[in-house]
Chains A and B, each alone.
Chain A
Amino acid sequence: MSATAAPLPAFRIERSTRTSWIGLAVAAVAIVVLISLPWWGGEDDLRLIVEICYTIALAQLWNLLAGYAGLVSVGQQAFVGIGGYALFGLTIIAGVPPIPAVALAGAVAAILAVPTALIVFRLRGAYFAIGTWVVAEVFSEVTGLLPDLGAGTGMSLPVAVSRAVGETRFERETVLYYMGLVLGIGTVAAVFAWLRSRQGLALTAIRDSETAAGSIGVNNDRTKYAVYLLAALVTGMLGAVIYLEKLRISPDAAFDVIDWTADVIFIVVIGGIGSIEGPFIGALVFFGLRYFLADYGAWYMILLGAVAVVIMLLARRGLWGLLADRYDIHFFPVRRRVRLE
């Protein structure tokens, strides 16, 4: 082997782009504005922002599952419901203070996700989707059989527990607002960090081709398990915060496929599956449509479903995919680019 190999050209690996710096600046300003909101916004504003936060967080998690790991789950409502019920159980029966109970609720969801994964991972593709739905139904049915948690009719959170969140109404609203905000921003940051890590590289490889990813040494199964458990953990915490705010829980509402999964799927599909920016765009469309069509009842869901169908057929990577391709913009750069010098 005496032949001289051509010297490697000088190169560097770029991760940020010009638009990503703009994105970072916009995000920083938005976070400052959101942190200051309790001082100048009304109660309705706070509640809307919290709802947007957890919707975007759920969308990011579903996108991580479906858009990257190829795990199209129609059963994420299982973990919202488990999180919500764990919060009620932990605070009422075990007497845990509400804020640590939120973290523990996430842990409960993650623990229950282990046997769930062992079962549903036996199914592939579309069968996995329906399998996760069945498991969510099982959790819903079982919850409906627990008399200590209100059985089928559900229960309300005792006043003492919500007092433990904050003495006055304003205090409670503010604490819940910051919890929602921290979870929302934290989820986006965690997904972003995950996708930039080695795990994320593996996940992106799986997104692009599962076979190719496996052949270059990615442990597909382990990566998928990790994503599934992470999604369950955070979804459980979100469920706990959602029901700490709602104050009333029932199996039908807590394990509702429309509220916790269908809306989220539409948001991701419309915004752009397989990107961090997509769920933001999708949430913008979702809350925008809801604002204008709130009075039209079922027509709102019909329109949302139809738009999602059209997008899936004509623009597989959603609205963000169209924009990103045309203008080469990336607010959340997760890619590595090689530049020759």
Chain B
Amino acid sequence: MDWVNAVLQGALVGGLYALFAAGLSLMFGVMRLVNIAHGDLIVLAAYLGLVTVDTLGLGPFTSLVVVVPAMFVLGYILQRGLLNFTLGTDILPPLLVTFGLSIVIENALLEGFSADEQKLQAGSFETASIHLTDQLAIGWFPLVIFVTAVAVIVLLELLIYRTAVGRAFRATSDDADTARLYGVRNRHVYSLATALALAVISIAAIFLAVRVNFDPASGPARLLYAFEAVIIGGLGSLWGTLAGGVVLGVAQAIGAQLNPGWEQLAGHVAFLIVLIVRPRGLFPKLAD
């Protein structure tokens, strides 16, 4: 029963990885930009949540009222003022600029908040669970994470396939130059995509901050999880990304169950196995 429990919790936590990954996937899909600073932006949002909770006295989840719009605006400015200038046929500028940005954010957080570990407290909610049987229980918090991930993906899919903005996203994704000829303002569209991506990672960041301790150096690990979820799921498919997150969460849970030291390794190994067996992921949609 321990195993069933572990796998179940792992699968639910996979929702968190899918939330990390959705933003990465969106930015790549719309403008082929892989943001190396993604993990550090997640940690930045977590610190923003921390500051909001401390100064405004909000609860961790209600702090999203501040964090989501703030990160949305930051995303727009970041894309408009910096990342748009890196786009083109050359792969080096986007990669190295976002890498530089990642180091800048991490060290700025270190300067502002020190290297001490932080956490957001959500009280008894963190450990509350639903008892299915005597031995089987589902934590409320992991369940909320998973349901939120599904809801976010449904909303993103609706946005992408049912709205004018979504049409512009798909158009620039297919052919940016032709989209411009039809009156799509590419730079504005890209900025909206990044704004949206950062709004999504804000939710992930608050969940992360309630779930585990974080510090300024927590970013890269989150980038790697997000990346692994995207690749396992297959490029361009948000449902695939959710599946990728679940695979990663389950692999880590199984690893941790075997030996507490194997948790991270098991996730990475699952990723490498998928890369060897199915290089294009489980549900590929886009060619890179």
Binding site for B on A (CB under 8 A): 66, 70, 72, 74, 119, 122-127, 129-131, 133-135, 137-138, 141-142, 144-145, 152, 257-258, 262, 265-266, 269, 273, 297-299, 301-302, 304-306, 308-309, 312-313, 316
Is there contact, CB below 8 Å, between A309 and B220? no
Interface pairs A-B: 8 shortest CB-CB: A126-B34, A305-B103, A309-B100, A298-B107, A305-B104, A141-B265, A301-B107, A305-B100
Given A134-B224, A138-B269, CB of A313 within 8 Å of CB of B85? yes
Contact of B272 among A134, A258, A299, A306 (CB under 8 A): A134
Is there contact, CB below 8 Å, between B93 and A316? yes
Q: Which B residue's beta carbon lies closest to that of A304? A: B103
Residue among A74, A145, A299, A312 with max Cβ neighbours from chain B (10 Å): A312
Is there contact, CB below 8 Å, between A269 and B95? no
- The size of the chain B interface, using a CB distance under 8 A, is 42
Is there contact, CB below 8 Å, between B92 and A313? no
Is there contact, CB below 8 Å, between A141 and B268? yes
Cα A321 to Cα B162 in complex, Å, equals 47
Separation in Å of the B256 CB from the closest CB of chain A? 13
Chain B residues numbered 79-109 whose CB sits less than 8 Å from any CB in chain A: 82, 85-86, 90-97, 99-104, 106-108
Is there contact, CB below 8 Å, between A298 and B92? no
Cα A180 to Cα B101 in complex, Å, equals 32
Q: Which B residue's beta carbon lies closest to that of A301? A: B107
Cα A265 to Cα B224 in complex, Å, equals 19
How many contacting A-B pairs (Cβ < 8 A)? 125
Main secondary structure of the interface of A (DSSP, over half): helix
Q: Which A residue's beta carbon lies closest to that of B96? A: A312
Is there contact, CB below 8 Å, between A130 and B34? yes
Sampled A-B contacts (29; CB under 8 Å): A72-B91, A72-B92, A72-B95, A72-B96, A119-B275, A119-B276, A122-B279, A125-B34, A125-B95, A126-B36, A129-B34, A129-B36, A129-B95, A134-B268, A137-B224, A138-B265, A141-B264, A142-B265, A266-B103, A297-B111, A298-B107, A306-B104, A309-B97, A309-B100, A312-B86, A312-B97, A313-B85, A313-B93, A316-B93
Separation in Å of the A126 CB from the closest CB of chain B? 3
The yes or no answer to B288 lying at the interface (CB within 8 A) is: yes
Residue among B100, B111, B265, B275 with max Cβ neighbours from chain A (10 Å): B100
Given A72-B95, A137-B268, A313-B93, CB of A305 within 8 Å of CB of B275? no
Chain A residues contacting B104 (CB-CB under 8 Å) are 301-302, 305-306, 309
